Amino acid sequence: MNAGAGQVERHRVEGPLHFLSVTTAAQAIAARELSPVELMKAHLDRIAKLDPKLNAFIRLDAEAALQAAGVAEAEATAGRLRGPLHGVPVGIKDIIDVAGLGTTCHSKVLADNVATSDAVCVSKLREAGAIVVGKLSTHEFAIGGPSFDLPWPPARNPWNPDHHPGGSSSGSGSGVAAGLFPMALGTDTGGSVRNPASCCGIVGLKPTYGLVSRRGVFPLSFTLDHIGPMTRTVEDNALMLETIAGHDARDPGSAAAPNGHYRAAMDRGARGLRVGFVRHFHETDMPAEPEVAAALENVAQTLQTMGADLRDIRLPSLGEFSAVNRIILQSEAWSVHARWLRERPGDYGRLARRRLMAGAFLNAGDYVAANRRRSEMIADINAALAEVDVLLCASSMDPACRIDRPDDIDRTYTRQARTPFNVTGHPALAMMAGLSSTGLPLSVQFVGRYFDEAMLFRVARAWEKASGVDKKHPPIG
């Protein structure tokens, strides 16, 4: 059934409950066709069955989640819905505060750190009726992973548990793809929402810088940090963003832009859209695996067939974007971690220790030079987006590598095109572009103008509908 512009489509409950979309589950609960307790139990059963293989959780809060589902059920029965996510489970990356639970950042350094209040984004999800299932694995402090020398094991990829799920929001990506929960919060400083979305074949959005409050989220790099929704469908992603976006006067980076109704234009299709294809990222800057390149061409041609006007766009090189991102990230992260690295370096895993100490060897001149170059890069992308409505480019240059091969992890870590949009703050969405010959997700990224997330959802939804990527689930369980 199609809905007109601005209307929300009504979905039918079909298939196993653990693969219901957020939208379908919420609508069914609101219509009293689905019990929040039944839905939560289905997810807890799935978690019990699969999480021992996937390690998506650092802390499962099953008892509280089930109790909250009971309350949600009573409220729904009485006709009192808290909001558009009433009774729907959500997982939270463990660098984001949830009152009463640990925020460990997957590190021994903060093993005993318990949050006293919810982060703003968590509070907004709860006000909309979502139920927190637990805290999710991350790369240590959102930078050092996947690591086997930490108090908790790294998350694994549900498409093949021998492979990396991407990071740093690794538990979020793994759990959403595997059906442990239908939505999760991730954070993205150099691509950490979009990398696991790419590796696990789900939808991950890094919103415009400042659109989602960072208050209550442990910082990695103040001017690069973003909080973003991770879901299995584009519509769910837009719904989640509608819930968590909005100005926060107590977050100094918060933008004064209103949050929008991001689903309103989602079904308008690709006809007439001007799409700028940034081919040099994956053709010459960092040549992608042939299957990745072919998948990107397929996405571009599909959109063209649907009526999009496809154009080539040139931006600064990926190598330079990456350098600017790393200088800023490592300088700002050093300012956060210097005291602990001086006093207790042995409490960090090896990867985080190496990456975080790098900031000690950068000077103020490096940091200011990178931020001056950043101004030019922002102007370059704004100029490109004056010519087109949306950019299309690679996300990852390779499918997910094996998790037990540190050399492959190191090699592929920087082979990506996500950092440019942390540097410039433009919204960027990564999603599945297809499957590799070995059955691993391939990915594509769409990038929009500041605060024009609605355009990203429109083009992403057009690709999703044409390709059916939202119907593909990992062959696990």
Partner 1 sequence: MDEEIVELLARRAGLDKALAEFRDDVLAAARQTATVTQKLNAPTDPRVEPWPAMRPGDGL
Minimum Å gap between C-beta 232 and partner 1 is 33
Strands annotated E in 282-371: 309-312
- What residues are paired with 276 via a beta bridge? 311, 391
Residue span binding partner 1 (CB under 8 A) among the ranges 115-123, 150-158, 278-286, 373-381: 373-381
Task: Quote the distance between the C-alpha of residue 405 and its chain's center.
Answer: 24
**Beta-strand pair 390-393/274-277:** parallel
Tell me which amino acid residue 476 is: I
Task: Quote the distance between the C-alpha of residue 211 and its chain's center.
Answer: 14
Q: Which of 323, 336, 435, 466 binds partner 1 (CB under 8 A)?
A: 323
- Cα gap 47→64, rounded to integer Å: 15
Check 137, 168, 169, 170 and give the catalytic one. 168
**Helix, strand or coil for residue 201?**
coil
Q: Among residue numbers 198 through 237, which ones bind partner 1 (CB under 8 A)?
A: 210, 223
Minimum Å gap between C-beta 245 and partner 1 is 15
Tokens of 381: 């992308």
370 in contact with partner 1 (CB under 8 A) = yes
Minimum Å gap between C-beta 319 and partner 1 is 5
Q: Residue 206: is it exposed, middle or buried by C-beta count within 10 angstroms (0-12/13-18/19+)?
A: buried
Minimum Å gap between C-beta 470 and partner 1 is 35
Q: Which of 29, 96, 244, 255 binds partner 1 (CB under 8 A)?
A: 255
Q: Among residue numbers 153 through 182, which ones bind partner 1 (CB under 8 A)?
A: none
Question: What x/- string results for residues 432 through 451 when contact with partner 1 is judged by CB under 8 A?
Answer: --------------------
Q: Which of 15, 151, 345, 439 binds partner 1 (CB under 8 A)?
A: 345
Check 35, 192, 221, 322 and give the catalytic one. 192
Query: Is 48 or 368 the residue whose CB approaches partner 1 more closely?
Result: 368
- What residues are paired with 59 via a beta bridge? 135
Q: Among residue numbers 346 through 365, which ones bind partner 1 (CB under 8 A)?
A: 346, 350, 353-362
Query: Is 302 or 317 the residue whose CB approaches partner 1 more closely?
Result: 317
Minimum Å gap between C-beta 370 and partner 1 is 6
Using the 8-state DSSP alphabet, how is residue 84 labeled? Answer: T
Strands annotated E in 176-255: 183-188, 203-206, 226-231
Q: Tokens 């109704």 sit at which residue?
A: 261
Count Cβ neighbours within 10 Å for each residue of 34-49 and write b for 16 or more, e otherwise: bbbbebbbbbbebbee
φ and ψ at residue 148, rounded to 5 degrees: -105, 5
Evaluate whether 267 touches 5 at the Cβ level (below 8 Å): yes
Q: Among residue numbers 256 through 275, which ones bind partner 1 (CB under 8 A)?
A: 256
Evaluate whether 268 touches 308 at the Cβ level (below 8 Å): no
Using the 8-state DSSP alphabet, how is residue 33 labeled? Answer: S
Query: Is 11 or 247 the residue whose CB approaches partner 1 more closely?
Result: 247
Minimum Å gap between C-beta 333 and partner 1 is 11
Question: Is residue 168 among the annotated active site residues?
Answer: yes
Q: Which of 194, 326, 426, 473 binds partner 1 (CB under 8 A)?
A: 326
Q: Tokens 């895993």 sit at which residue?
A: 349
Query: Is 356 or 417 the residue whose CB approaches partner 1 more closely?
Result: 356
314 in contact with partner 1 (CB under 8 A) = no
Question: Is residue 192 among the annotated active site residues?
Answer: yes
Q: Which of 215, 374, 426, 458 binds partner 1 (CB under 8 A)?
A: 374
Q: Which of 66, 310, 338, 466 binds partner 1 (CB under 8 A)?
A: 338
Q: Among residue numbers 47 through 66, which ones bind partner 1 (CB under 8 A)?
A: none
Using the 8-state DSSP alphabet, how is residue 133 labeled? Answer: E
Q: Which of 247, 268, 280, 472 binds partner 1 (CB under 8 A)?
A: 247
Using the 8-state DSSP alphabet, how is residue 163 labeled? Answer: B
Among residues 28, 464, 2, the alpha carbon closest in space to that of 233 is found at 464
**Beta-strand pair 183-188/89-93:** parallel
Question: Is residue 93 among the annotated active site residues?
Answer: yes
- Cα gap 198→165, rounded to integer Å: 9
Evaluate whether 170 touches 157 at the Cβ level (below 8 Å): no
310 in contact with partner 1 (CB under 8 A) = no
Tokens of 357: 């100490």
Tokens of 143: 């930078």
343 in contact with partner 1 (CB under 8 A) = yes
How many residues bind partner 1, per CB under 8 A? Answer: 46
Q: Applying CB under 8 A, which residues contact partner 1? A: 210, 223, 247, 249, 251-256, 319-320, 322-324, 326-327, 330, 338, 341-343, 345-346, 350, 353-362, 366, 368-376, 378
Catalytic residues: 93, 168, 192
